[in-house]
């Protein structure tokens, strides 16, 4: 086999340097072809008497992102085909195929030659499992991550990750690392004992070559007397650790994630057995997890679809690529300051404009605080901090926006204020500049009417906090042109965030679903459901934050303003009087605005943790006895209202790609990730059963649960959304 992905050079000391550099790719990933070539290479080196040790390195900036999950998709498609015949034979085939990487890494571990992984950049998933199988691991200094994030996309480290981590790290730290899918900087991996050394980047290969000649080709856990770190399972310490670990797992996941459950089982069983038996258990659990709906949905949404959208799946064809050199941001408040930071962090010059220089400088200081925190943690250098801050110009003069390719207004939600900012910007911007609004409530089409060229106006809706949230809604107004849309998508991609394209509507997509989530919680309060029960049930259902806590974060007075705006624009029938009464009592009568003023549905003491406000009974009356309330019904209500709103958005053409509905729901507002998103949630239930479920909820709780025309039509033949609306096709 002629080498395509790997080159080998053996020096005078007998150290074979294997360099992985797949052609035509910016990042090395494991495909079938890569694994075939690597397997043959290891066999050749293992039988070459001249080779005394092996160093595996990358010829690219990063080591590897791990396995190409499209390879895994192909395996699952083949399994589904086989399962239609002999299910037992299909499962046997799946076990063998899905364990290939595990067997290959074990061969590296037992090849008879010491192996060192020279990690010079990002090393994740299966690639980090290869490093763990090596006899030594040396990492270069730098701002990158290593780790095993598989549980975040519905699966788990099934190529030896669970077994080797628990044989290297402290058991508590190791289990946390696995269950949280942590990716950590090299120095933190060193503290976890998952790598052996961190060296200057320019000395990585030399250090790895020197290291490999000092190592035994037999791993510690292949020695007869080896015992994993920490107490034995059946010991006093073990009885303290493992039941507590199970309780924490239940508390954090509510048993919604088969991948996380399998990690706990693989670790518990594996540490009691020799490595080969532990690997067999891990492989069986891995194959089992692959067949779960949760794994399929999460892989599709959080890996495949997210990657496709991030790479420009919705970008207009035929528009030349753009790379903003200078971006203007009008409004240096919390949102504007966050947008300035992520823009400067992407290497783009920023002009941050506000009503006076002091306000603009305050917004600029927000970036300084964020980058200073990274420096303090060793994730950035003083030089990085200086360079980032040099890219942000604070100003009170709109004339400084001259020369900007893109300008984003992030002033407060007042139409007059936004139009005034647009007028001042238009006076100084060049004819090719694109103007964007970060509004979360005002229709883009109506704002664009106030711009000199509506085709050059687009919505770019960030989520708070900007530096942490991965999703951005790009809003296309009625007259938004293809170039404006492409520029917005190119800009979001430059920020390394995931964009979804949303057609103009009140609340766009994410806020419509979130609003339904908050409304349901408000109505539950009015019904007498205890506040703590609402919050806990929401987390049991898979939401990362309870609706009352979320309402406090986005501001209770904002919810009140949205209700009033809907009432004014759409009439009194558009507002539920129970919600209006609750919010009026909270905001107008008691001044409980949310976290921003220290009191909302929660109280926020200066010292100590937040706690639910005990005075809510003053507004809604005494709570019912929790024992009389159906927990499963509450969980359904909180998820179904969001899924129904997502289906309505597809029906109305607000979202035209099912991938964006799912990705947007998970990344934008945290819709139960184990479901794969709002639309995957409906598909899992089946449209026929979903409509039946909605009809029952509507009968018991009101017409807001009445299913729309589209999902009702699909239910007649139990048609799935991903069948009717193939990814990339427009909704009908």
Q: In what order do the strands lie in the sheet with 434-437?
A: 392-395, 349-353, 326-330, 406-409, 434-437, 457-462, 471-476, 498-503
Residue of 305, 395, 440, 551 with catalytic role = 440
User: In 145-301, which residue ranges form alpha helices assigned H by DSSP?
Assistant: 161-168, 171-179, 186-191, 204-212, 236-253, 258-270, 275-290, 293-299
Q: What sign does the dihedral 242-246-247-249 (CA atoms) show?
A: positive
Q: Is 211 exposed, middle or buried (0-12, 13-18, 19+ CB in 10 A)?
A: buried
Whether the CB-CB separation of 264 and 246 falls below 8 Å is answered with: yes
φ, ψ of residue 119 to 5 degrees: the values are -95, 110
CB atoms near residue 405 (< 10 Å): 20
Question: For residues 424 and 353, is the Cβ–Cβ distance under 8 A?
Answer: no
Task: Give catalytic status of residue 96 as yes or no.
Answer: no
- Of the residues 62, 367, 395, 461, only one is catalytic, namely 461
Residue 286 half-sphere exposure, CB side, CA atoms within 13 Å?
26
- Name 319's bridge partners: none
- Give yes or no: 437 in active site: no
Could you give the CA distance from residue 161 to residue 403 in angstroms, rounded to a whole number? 51
Q: Is 12 exposed, middle or buried (0-12, 13-18, 19+ CB in 10 A)?
A: exposed
Q: Of the listed 282, 473, 520, 645, which one is catalytic?
A: 473
Distance between CA atoms of 296 and 304, rounded to whole angstroms? Answer: 11
CA distance 504 to 478: 7
Asked if omega into 220 is within 30° of 0 (cis), the reply is no
Q: Is 282 a catalytic residue?
A: no
* Residues 283 and 102 sit within 8 Å (Cβ to Cβ): yes
Give the count of beta carbons closer than 10 Å to the beta carbon of residue 200.
Answer: 11
DSSP 599-639: BSSEE--SSS--EE-GGGHHHH-SPPPGGGS-HHHHHHHHH
d(CA 128, CA 78): 27
Q: Is 473 a catalytic residue?
A: yes
Spell 53-86 as b/e; 16+ CB within 10 A means b. bbbbbbebebbbbbbbbebbeebbeebeebbeee
- The span from the CA of 213 to the CA of 115, in Å, is 9
* CB atoms closer than 10 angstroms to residue 96: 12
User: Which residues, including other chains, have CB under 8 Å from residue 366's CB and lie 6 or more apart?
Assistant: 334, 337, 338, 340, 341
Say how far apart CA 370 and CA 348 lie, in whole Å: 17
CA dist., res. 559 & res. 563, Å (int): 6
Rounded CA separation 116/208 (Å): 6
HSE-up of residue 396 (Cα within 13 Å, Cβ side): 7
Q: Rounded to an integer, what distance in angstroms lies between the CA atom of residue 223 and that of residue 205?
A: 28
Catalytically annotated residue among 511, 551, 665, 680: 511
CA-CA distance, 349 to 393, in Å (whole number)? 8
Which residues are part of the catalytic machinery? 440, 461, 473, 511
């Amino acid at each position: 086999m002629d080498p395509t992905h790997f080159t080998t050079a053996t020096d005078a000391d007998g150290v074979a340097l294997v360099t992985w550099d797949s052609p035509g790719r910016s990042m090395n990933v494991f495909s079938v072809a890569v694994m075939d070539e690597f397997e043959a290479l290891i066999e050749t080196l293992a039988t070459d008497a001249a080779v005394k040790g092996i160093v595996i390195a990358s010829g690219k900036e990063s080591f590897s992102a791990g396995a190409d999950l499209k390879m895994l998709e192909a395996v699952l498609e083949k399994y589904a085909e086989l399962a239609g015949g002999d299910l037992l034979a299909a499962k046997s085939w799946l076990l063998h195929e899905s364990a290939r990487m595990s067997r290959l890494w074990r061969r590296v571990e037992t090849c008879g030659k010491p192996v060192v992984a020279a990690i010079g950049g990002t090393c994740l998933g299966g690639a980090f499992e290869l490093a763990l199988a090596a006899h030594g691991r040396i990492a270069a200094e730098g701002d990158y991550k290593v780790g095993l994030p598989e549980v975040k996309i519905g699966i788990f480290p099934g190529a030896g990750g669970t077994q080797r981590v628990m044989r290297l790290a402290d058991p508590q730290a190791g289990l946390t690392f696995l269950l949280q899918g942590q990716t950590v900087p090299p120095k933190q991996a060193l503290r976890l004992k998952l790598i052996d050394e961190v060296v200057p980047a320019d000395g990585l290969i030399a250090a790895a070559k020197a290291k490999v000649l000092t190592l035994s080709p037999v791993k510690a856990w292949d020695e007869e007397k080896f015992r994993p770190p920490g107490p034995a399972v059946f010991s006093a310490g073990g009885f303290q650790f493992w039941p507590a670990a199970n309780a924490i797992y239940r508390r954090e996941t509510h048993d919604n994630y088969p991948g996380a459950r399998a990690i706990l089982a693989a670790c518990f069983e594996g540490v009691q057995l020799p490595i080969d038996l532990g690997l067999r258990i891990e492989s069986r659990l891995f194959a089992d997890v692959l067949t779960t709906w949760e794994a399929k949905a999460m892989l599709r949404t959080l890996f495949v679809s997210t990657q496709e959208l991030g790479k420009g799946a919705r970008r207009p064809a035929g528009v030349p690529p753009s790379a903003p050199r200078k971006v203007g941001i009008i409004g240096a408040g919390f949102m504007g300051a966050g947008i300035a930071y992520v823009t400067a962090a992407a290497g783009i010059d920023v002009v941050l404009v506000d009503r006076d220089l002091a306000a603009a400088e305050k917004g600029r200081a927000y970036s300084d605080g964020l980058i200073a925190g990274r420096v303090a943690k060793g994730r950035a250098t003083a030089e990085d901090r200086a360079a980032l801050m040099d890219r942000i110009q604070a100003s009170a003069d709109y004339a400084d926006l001259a020369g900007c390719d893109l300008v984003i207004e992030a002033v407060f939600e007042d139409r007059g204020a936004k139009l005034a900012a647009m007028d001042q910007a238009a006076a100084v911007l060049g004819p090719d500049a694109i103007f964007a609004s970060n509004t979360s409530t005002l229709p883009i089409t109506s704002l664009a009417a106030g711009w000199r060229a509506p085709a050059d106006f687009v919505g770019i809706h960030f989520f708070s906090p900007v530096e942490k949230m991965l999703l951005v809604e790009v809003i296309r107004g009625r007259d938004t042109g293809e170039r404006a849309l492409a520029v917005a998508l190119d800009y979001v991609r430059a920020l390394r965030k995931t964009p979804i394209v949303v057609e103009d509507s009140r609340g766009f997509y994410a806020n419509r679903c979130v609003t339904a989530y908050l409304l349901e919680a408000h109505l539950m309060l009015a019904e007498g459901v205890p506040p703590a029960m609402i919050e806990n049930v929401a987390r049991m259902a898979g939401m990362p934050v309870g609706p009352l806590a979320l309402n406090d974060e986005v501001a209770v007075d904002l919810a009140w303003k949205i209700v009033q705006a809907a009432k004014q624009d759409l009439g009194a029938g558009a507002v539920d009087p129970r919600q209006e009464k609750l919010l009026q009592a909270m905001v107008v009568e008691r001044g409980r605005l949310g976290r921003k003023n220290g009191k909302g549905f929660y109280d926020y003491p200066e010292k100590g943790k937040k706690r639910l406000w005990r005075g809510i009974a003053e507004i809604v009356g005494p709570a019912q006895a929790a024992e009389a309330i159906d927990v499963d019904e509450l969980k359904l209500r909180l998820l179904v209202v969001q899924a129904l709103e997502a289906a309505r958005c597809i029906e109305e053409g607000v979202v035209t790609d099912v991938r964006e509905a799912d990705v947007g729901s998970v990344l934008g507002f945290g819709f139960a990730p184990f479901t794969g998103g709002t639309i995957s949630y409906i598909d899992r239930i089946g449209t026929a059963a979903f409509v039946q479920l909605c009809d029952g909820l509507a009968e018991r709780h009101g017409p807001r649960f009445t299913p729309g025309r589209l999902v009702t039509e699909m239910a007649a033949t139990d048609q799935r959304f991903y069948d009717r609306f193939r990814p990339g096709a427009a909704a009908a």
